[in-house]
């Protein structure tokens, strides 16, 4: 037997899918490391902790994780309740991370720098599979190397937001003015109120996170009338984001479309669509946004703050020395691309998949979770749970279990919303689950 088989499995990222991978490895008696760059497990969830998801708890808890938690004094939440990001962390991720079978193997404040094979680079083939993986990681300024028999990369895409510039590239001046741009979902009515009240705010994006931000800013505008709101989309017609409204299969999602249509028609919101941002610069009046509106050169003047909700993309730098097969357009795992293409699919039409579809030329290396979908906005937490169940079964030598892929999902998928005073996004940590990308509307989140 290859001596590498006695080494642990390395899991990158302690979000819901990484933690689920750890739970399945525990059940299979396979040792592991779990690396997390943040201060806590589920760190990225706390950045949108005020947002409530559309999918109920029963879709958000991995089955192996639940079995471990039930061995402790953990109290299961109401399976039909809709958790916030903060509640997911506090009531699920952290209790799971504190389980005695998982806690000793978590490395917090540990940023993975690179992954490769011991002593050889990407080009060398002979004897490659006999070499262990080496994970290079930094903690508090110290660099350490960890050997592993397999790697499960569940690092996600949340920390890699797309630029606001046209064509998926940074607009001129965007990086220079980054301190005035919030990439994500700001808590504009509470923690970030001072940043946006009585300011001229521009929201960029055509998904549900953008809509949530606009509706929250409209509430701020009611209390602070000097607040001005502008909305930039690339869609040909703003009505494309309204969805099914009264006819929507999900009442909350339909209500979101009704509310944003009402706001647009109120005249309290300046809408620019289709608008393509090319340049940002700041003068005494504020930030000036240069771009094209219906093909004509246009300037949106005197902006104070920008909220960017244009999706995210995977960080591929850490796997440069690993042989991976990625789709050229989606940057997803290649064999997933046809299954998840947002030009064809929503999250409700993505069929179940597992270890077979997630394989790379690099044996025993897997990208899972939202990162496996690359730029596609159709990922669900439940999808990631089934991915790691299948991958771990395969690593354990249980090929029958690995090949038997099943997935229990909401029939209609879910989308982000904002009903009354309740923020509702969808079902998970990836940007697509909180806010869909420009091109495709939103899904499940």
Q: Are residues 361 and 277 in the same domain?
A: no
pTM comes to: 0.87
Counted domains in the chain: 2
Q: Are residues 401 and 333 in the same domain?
A: yes
Q: Which residues pair with 32 in a beta bridge?
A: 9
- pLDDT for position 52: 83
- pLDDT for position 178: 96
C-alpha–C-alpha distance, residues 15 and 34, integer Å: 10
**Is there a domain that residue 441 lies in?**
no
Residue ranges making up the domain that contains 232: 166-308
Q: Are residues 155 and 10 in the same domain?
A: yes
CATH of the domain at 152: 3.50.50.60
For the chain, 445 residues long, the average pLDDT of each consecutive 10-residue run is 81 97 98 97 92 86 97 95 94 98 98 97 94 96 97 94 92 96 92 96 90 92 96 86 60 71 91 95 96 94 96 93 95 91 66 90 97 88 94 97 80 39 37 32 34
φ and ψ of 210, to 5 deg: -60, -45
**Is there a domain that residue 287 lies in?**
yes
- pLDDT for position 245: 57
Question: Which of 394, 414, 412, 392 is closest to 403 using CA atoms?
Answer: 394
**Is there a domain that residue 99 lies in?**
yes
Tell me the three state secondary structure of residue 150: strand
Q: Are residues 394 and 273 in the same domain?
A: no
- pLDDT for position 350: 66
Pairing of strands 286-293, 275-283: antiparallel
**Is there a domain that residue 271 lies in?**
yes
Identify the helix (H) or strand (E) that includes residue 134: strand 133-139
């Amino acid at each position: 037997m290859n001596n590498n088989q006695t080494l642990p499995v390395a899991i990158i990222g302690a979000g819901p899918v990484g933690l689920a991978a750890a739970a399945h490895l525990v059940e299979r008696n396979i040792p592991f490391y779990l690396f997390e760059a943040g201060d806590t497990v589920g760190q990225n969830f706390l950045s949108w902790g005020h947002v409530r998801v559309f999918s109920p708890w029963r879709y958000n808890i991995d089955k192996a994780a639940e079995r471990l938690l039930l061995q402790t004094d953990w109290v299961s939440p109401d399976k039909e309740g809709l958790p916030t990001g903060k509640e997911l962390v506090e009531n699920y991720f952290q209790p799971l991370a504190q389980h005695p079978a998982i806690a000793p193997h978590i490395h917090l404040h540990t940023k993975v720098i690179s992954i490769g094979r011991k002593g050889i680079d990407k080009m060398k083939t002979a004897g490659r599979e006999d070499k262990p993986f080496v994970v290079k990681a930094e903690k508090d300024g110290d660099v350490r190397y960890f050997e592993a028999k397999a790697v499960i990369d569940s690092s996600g895409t949340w920390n890699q937001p797309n630029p606001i510039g046209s064509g998926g590239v940074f607009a001129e001046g965007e990086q220079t003015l980054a301190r005035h741009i919030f990439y994500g979902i700001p808590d504009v009515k509470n923690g970030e109120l001072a940043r946006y009240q009585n300011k001229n705010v521009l929201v960029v994006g055509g998904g549900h996170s953008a809509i949530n931000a606009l509706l929250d800013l409209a509430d701020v505008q009611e209390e602070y009338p000097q607040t001005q709101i502008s909305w930039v989309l690339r869609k040909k017609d703003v009505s494309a984001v309204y969805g099914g409204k009264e006819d929507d299969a999900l009442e909350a999602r339909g209500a979101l479309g009704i509310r944003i249509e009402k706001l647009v028609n109120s005249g309290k919101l300046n809408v620019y669509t289709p608008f393509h941002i090319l340049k940002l610069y700041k003068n005494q009046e504020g930030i000036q946004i240069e771009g094209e509106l219906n093909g004509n050169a246009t300037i949106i003047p005197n902006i104070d703050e920008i909220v960017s909700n244009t999706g995210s993309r995977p960080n591929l730098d850490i796997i440069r020395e690993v042989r991976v097969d990625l789709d050229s357009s989606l940057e997803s795992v290649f064999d997933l691309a046809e299954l998840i293409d947002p030009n064809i699919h929503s999250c409700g039409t993505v069929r179940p998949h597992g270890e077979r579809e997630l394989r790379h030329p690099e044996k025993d290396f897997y990208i899972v979770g939202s990162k496996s979908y690359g730029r596609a906005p159709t990922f669900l937490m439940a999808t990631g749970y089934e991915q790691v169940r299948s991958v771990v079964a395969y690593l354990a030598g249980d090929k029958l279990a690995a090949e038997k892929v099943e997935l229990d999902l909401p029939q209609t998928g879910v989308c982000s919303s904002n009903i009354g005073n309740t923020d509702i996004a969808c079902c998970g940590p990836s940007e697509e689950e909180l806010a869909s990308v420009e091109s495709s509307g939103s899904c499940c989140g």
